[in-house]
Amino acid sequence: MRVLFVCMGNICRSPLAEEVCRTLAARSGLAGAIKVDSAGTHGYHVGEAPDARAQRVAARRGYDLSRLRARQVVPEDFERFDRIFAMDRANLAALRRICPPARHDRLSLLLDCVPALAGTEVPDPYYGNEAGFEHVLELCEAAVRALLANCPAEPEAPFPGR
């Protein structure tokens, strides 16, 4: 399975989800079965590292975001990824505007993976403090655990992402 996590600028929520997914997949023996990446719907931070607060919060829980760099969603992403998870409705709407209609079935909110949280948004912590980033990390962990519980164990074909 190939999964893309998307937020607005790709420096807070989506890189957290990407690294949580990568790390938990490896810990679960699913590293070969799932390939992950993240992107933003806007190009505000292309080439930048994740927000320092996201990196600190992640590091405290054993996730390393230091090698990630922000990028913007490109048209090829809608073909390259099996699932594309938006962090909130605004970014989901932005994805739907640029996604070919035949690929809309690949788009959903990240928290739709957790039945009790379906339809819930991952809040943007950018204008807050580290507590907001902690909350986002907890939500990402819950969603990724649910996603991985339904991931096929077979390795995928080579992945052109990071």
pLDDT truncated to tens, each residue of the chain (162 aa)? 999 999 999 999 999 999 999 999 999 999 889 999 999 999 999 999 999 999 999 999 999 999 999 999 999 999 999 999 999 999 999 999 999 999 999 999 999 999 999 999 999 999 999 999 999 999 999 999 999 998 765 544 443 444
Is 7 a residue of the active site? yes
Cβ contact 80:161 at 8 Å = yes
Is 105 a residue of the active site? no
pLDDT at 56: 98
From 2, 12, 13, 88, the catalytic residue? 13
Is 151 a residue of the active site? no
What's the pTM value of the predicted model, to 2 decimals? 0.93
pLDDT at 157: 43
Domain ranges of the chain: 2-149
CATH homologous superfamily of 2-149:
Response regulator (3.40.50.2300)
Burial class (CB in 10 A: 0-12, 13-18, 19+), 118: exposed
pLDDT at 153: 56
From 21, 77, 124, 140, the catalytic residue? 124
Q: Please state, in angstroms and as integers, the Cα–Cα distance from residue 148 to each residue in 56, 66, 123, following that order.
A: 25, 23, 22
